[in-house]
A and B are shown apart, each in its own frame.
Chain A
Amino acid sequence: SAVISQKPSRDICQRGTSLTIQCQVDSQVTMMFWYRQQPGQSLTLIATANQGSEATYESGFVIDKFPISRPNLTFSTLTVSNMSPEDSSIYLCSVVYQETQYFGPGTRLLVL
């Protein structure tokens, strides 16, 4: 299996600021994924991050709002930029490892 850790586990931020979320996996993986889980809504894929190339964003998500870095095969960051209360959510990273998609514990973000 793949074990994923995320930092921070939770944060409370002021509107207009930015937060960078870190994701570390214990195995080398080609693709890492970032999801958003809002209350009462389904997990929604934000983007796919491949090492050595630009992230691929899903419809409704843009790089200026959610810049992603993928410096190596075990690490990625997601930045939530210029935050508003609507960005309050749980952000999860995931990886596909041996035909299973594993998820991190999530980062709970509250924007005031």
Chain B
Amino acid sequence: QKEVEQDPGPLSVPEGAIVSLNCTYSNSAFQYFMWYRQYSRKGPELLMYTYSSGNKEDGRFTAQVDKSSKYISLFIRDSQPSDSATYLCAMSLMNTGFQKLVFGTGTRLLVSP
């Protein structure tokens, strides 16, 4: 079993839709939870990170962590064609912080005009 599971997609939605991207994990010791966006032929870029359970909002993006269920989500409101990319969840332990990240396989999102 992988430490972090993520549906690879692709997930196809029309412009303006609300998108829900999810990851599950098995290691209850993970403390930091991140979402990266990766455009084709580019490196991943950090979208958001959260520490502990709860919600965090940044513009059209909301990150949600449920540590009791070992489940994290990224919601994108009013999705745009420019949101078309692969979204990677990543996690790390308290003592490694932002260093040793464990990634999901990524979900490819396609937003059609």
* Chain A residues at the B interface, C-beta cutoff of 8 Å: 4, 31, 33, 40-45, 48, 92, 94, 96, 99-106, 108
Contact = CB atoms under 8 A, between A and B. Distances in A.
A42 B104 contact: yes
Contacts of B46: 100-102
Contacts of A101: 46, 98-99, 101
Interface stretch (B13-21, B37-45, B62-70, B71-79): B37-45
A31 B99 contact: yes
A106 B101 contact: no
A104 B101 contact: no
Given A42-B106, A96-B98, A105-B42, 4 more contacts: A42-B4, A45-B100, A94-B43, A105-B41
B101 A40 contact: no
Nearest to B42: A105
B110 interface: no
B15 to A, nearest CB: 27
Nearest to A4: B43
B55 to A, nearest CB: 20
A3 B84 CA distance: 23
Nearest to A31: B99
A44 B41 CA distance: 17
B45 A103 contact: yes
A44 to B, nearest CB: 8
B105 interface: yes
B104 to A, nearest CB: 6
Contacts of B101: 43, 45, 101
A106 B42 CA distance: 7
A12 B78 CA distance: 41
Given A99-B98, A101-B98, A101-B99, A41 B43 contact: no
Interface in B84-106: 88, 90, 97-106
A42 B98 contact: no
A104 B38 CA distance: 11
